[in-house]
Amino acid sequence: MNPQQAKNILYAILPQEVDSSCVITLWNGDKLRFGTGSPDFSIWIKTPKIFEELLVEPSLALGEGYINGDIEIEGNLGQAMEWFYQNAAEEKLSPFQKARVCWLHLKKRATIKQTKKDVQSHYDKGNEFYRLWLDEGMNYSCAFFTREDEELEQAQLNKIHRSLKKLFLKPGQKILDIGCGWGSLVIEAAKRYGVKAVGLTLSERQYELGNRRVKEAGLSEEVEIRLQDYREMDESEYKSFDRIISIGMFEHVGKENITVFFERCSRLLKDKGIFLLHTIGRTKPKDMDVWITKYIFPGTYLPALGELVETAEDTGFDFVDLENLRRHYDLTLGNWAKRFEQHAKIIKNLYDERFVRMWRLYLYGCQMAFRYNPLFVFQLLFTLGRRNDLPLVREELYAEA
């Protein structure tokens, strides 16, 4: 790859007339300017191998180039990511690339053993790490903001209670939280709504801290957090839960297990019970970003809305309501990225510079993906079998919790 070939690639994927300005410097010192005026940020590509890899797998080439230090960005990384999302031509995979991605998905099926391995690789980084940049309740999913400048702690509580309100909980009922994280939702459910709660996680770190928090809250009789996969629940618990909720876990289920998940929920939930599913998703099926699945979320799959609704209906659920929290996740990721930067030196001491660059790219990249790409956060409400006694007026469902 010579400098002129590299320039041709850049000019092919990036328009020269853009609103903001950027300078890209190649390994030989050649500079390319996009936009006019003083540059808002600059990019230094240190090696030609980036362009060779770019032709094979663009996302992986750029992501690995940044975390390995072969690409340097001077200026705000978030602004640079936004610039690329606004201006870069949409990635087009060749038939060979599509076949390769499909083969990788088939090769790595989401068995219980594999799912545990994937989940633990991400969530068992250490509670100290997540405590640095999540809210006080350590909620690692999309918050709900009543205004853009609302504190993250309050926005996460908003999300918890907005979600629980949709379940129409009554004291004494029993709920199941699939993917309970560090336990904030099950604790709030027991404390505020007087229900019994079971939470499931596959992360040993979440399990340990979650149980400690339950004990400290004096809720050991009301709340149980288990280190267990939803597929491992015993038949004796079938039809024992009045409500099921799952927030930010479904992305780990895997495409081949969507039906398995809904079938298992239908067995665990009582007839006419209510089920809330909160998940990142799309409107159309699409392969996962290769860099994300390799470095951040191995084994993940973002479902299409139709896949969810159709599978739910096929397994006995009735579709009640849908809410899209896309803009709220943009704000959530922005808060996480800001807190991450505030503690970047500590995180570097816990891990290393490469780890910091990897997670920085993940947080800023995801924020811009939700701002500009067709990615959404769905909250879907179902009942097991049709019910005609839920509120007639939708405002009752979304009234302040």
Catalytically active residues, by annotation: 366
Tokens 């599509």: give the residue. 98
Q: How far is CA 320 from CA 267, 275, 386, 400, in A?
A: 19, 10, 9, 19
Q: How far apart are CA 180 and CA 298, in angstroms?
A: 19
Instruction: Give the total residue count for the chain.
Output: 401
Segment (H or E) for 50: helix 49-54
HEC states along 159-211? HHHHHHHCCCCCCCCEEEEECCCCCHHHHHHHHHHCCEEEEEECCHHHHHHHH
Handedness of CA 83, 85, 90, 91 (dihedral sign): positive
Q: Regarding beta strands 174-178 and 241-247, do their DSSP bridges make them parallel or antiparallel, or are they unpaired?
A: parallel
Instruction: Please say whether the beta carbons of 311 and 259 come within 8 A.
Output: yes
Segment (H or E) for 271: strand 269-281
Please enumerate in sequence order all residues whose Cβ is within 8 A of that of 235, keeping only pairs 6 or more positions apart, or say none: none
Token digits of residue 88: 């870069």
Q: How far is CA 99 from CA 93, 294, 307, in A?
A: 10, 17, 21
Degrees, nearest 5: CA angle 37-83-24: 60
Token digits of residue 356: 């910091």
